[in-house]
Structure 1
Amino acid sequence: MSQADKAQSFADLHRKGDPVILFNIWDAGSAKAVADAGAKALATGSWSVAGAQGYGDGEALPLDMLEMIVKRITATSDLPLSVDFEGAYAAGPSGVGRNIARMIAAGAVGVNFEDQKVGGEGLYPVAKQAERISAARAAAEDAGLPFFINARTDIFLKDRDVANHPRLIDEALARAKAYAEAGASGIFMPGLKSPELIRSAAEEIALPLNILIMPEVPAPQELAALGVARISYGPGPWRDMMAWVTEQAAGIYRDI
């Protein structure tokens, strides 16, 4: 299957009410394990990929190393791969476009692209983030791919008090509309937990809605019923695996 075919296949998996489930991976080995378990597509988690190499999250992992990992994953599995690309390792549109092109060349068929200022404070203004998304879309068009740009807004992660989320939803929806017009393929709202707000967002947003599994978020079956089209597990699988390794090793060393 060509990369363009994989990109289209990945896009087609995003269906409201019948979401694609992404049990996020961090290297070629975890990619093979998740593929063998029956996944229809693969997606990295930035925290997981960085942590597996001894780095912190927030683009601390060198871009060259991320590119190498993406190449290894796509060489290991024929499944479509989306890369959690944080802020695309660039602030300006030209840098965004250049780095998106690198992920495409490495074999990715999509990215998560967030609107928080990585290494800075707050979120990019809507117009600025829209320019960045447009640059990513232009890079995809240059490559001739129906590349899936999962535009992430960090509004709900920046304010984790769920009591404040009803007053933030209008801004989140406004960002979603602007990002869609700029060329996004889907909208990612990590940190959104309320079933009522998730349903409202899924109904208001024309693009597929992505929700992150975390404490107090509805179960996948309920998210599907709410109209969600993509469900991500983020760094959870990697954290659970590292906790298991630590527990197993601690038991061994205690018994010595």
Structure 2
Amino acid sequence: MSQADTFRALHHHRAPEDPLVLPGPWDAVSARVFAEAGFPGLAVPSAGVAASLGYEDGQVPVDEMFAAVTRIVRAVDVPVSADVEDGYGLAPKELVERLLETGAVGCNLEDSEDGELKDPRAHAEWLAEVRAAAGDRLFVNARVDTFAYGAPDPEQTIERAALYVAAGADCVYPIGAPPEVLPLLRSGIQGPVNVGVFTEEGPSPAELGARGATRVTFGPGLQRRATRALREIAARLM
């Protein structure tokens, strides 16, 4: 079984209170820490990598982002998925080739650009091209940005999700959806659902699983927590 197959299998046949928990490493060291802790896979956040490289979120040059993902993949033996934002303007075939060159077996692809939602049907067609180029070599997590960018309508989210699943997405990620809306989204979305946890507050992964999350990721939240801890250490040293 390939690592992509292994990663895909992790998303299925899970008990409701046992979602797949994927920490988000931002460099090789953090990746090793999470892998050594026993997590079965990792989900690299673009914002966390951006911070580690000294950039604002969304401003990392594409070559630097893929190089960072390559270093993370090389550091661990578990499967790694990478947030590659909206694909950096690359054609689907080139995007897939470059992702596979890093060793990643999955990716996040968002349906917004510069804070604006994309046309969902056009985006679904683009996702279908990504799927055709990737075959079963990549696990595609289709991010739905309705709650993030001013259209917090569960029905619209479900409609977009249906288009993306039909286009070949393996998982749907309604980023920013409030926990109380998850049961409704779960009832209307086919296949795995990713839920993001960005702060230390709110429901636990198990509680999110009970509400409908198949997998839980953390975006840049863990990197930001580590940065706060480092600031506290620096302050004590002073």
Q: TM-score, normalised by structure 1?
A: 0.86
1:121 positional shift: 4.2
1:156 aligns with 2:147: yes
Paired AA for residue 39 in structure 2:
A
The aligned counterpart of 2:64 is: 65
Aligned pair in 2 of structure 1 residues 243, 88: CA closer, same or farther (>3 Å)? same
- 239-248 vs 169-178, which moves further: 239-248
1:1-256 to 2 correspondences below 5 Å: 5-15=2-12, 16=14, 17=16, 18-58=18-58, 60-90=59-89, 95-117=91-113, 120-141=114-135, 145-159=136-150, 165=152, 168-195=153-180, 197-215=181-199, 217-253=202-238
CA distance in 1: counterparts of 2:30 and 2:91, whole angstroms: 30
Gaps of 5+ in 2: none
The structure richer in helix per residue is: 1
Asked if structure 2 preserves the Cα contact closer than 8 Å seen for 1:50 and 1:57, the reply is: yes
Q: What's the RMSD between the two structures over aligned residues? A: 1.6
| Secondary structure of 1:188's aligned partner | strand
Paired AA for residue 131 in structure 2:
R
1:146 positional shift: 3.9
- 37-46 vs 212-221, which moves further: 212-221
1:217 positional shift: 4.2
1:97 positional shift: 3.0
Asked if structure 2 preserves the Cα contact closer than 8 Å seen for 1:186 and 1:208, the reply is: yes
Q: TM-score, normalised by structure 2?
A: 0.93
Gaps of 5+ in 1: none
1:252 positional shift: 1.9
Which of structures 1 and 2 has the bigger CA Rg? Answer: 1
Task: Give CA deviations for 1:93-115 in whole Å, capped at 9, x if unaligned.
Answer: x6233122201121010001000
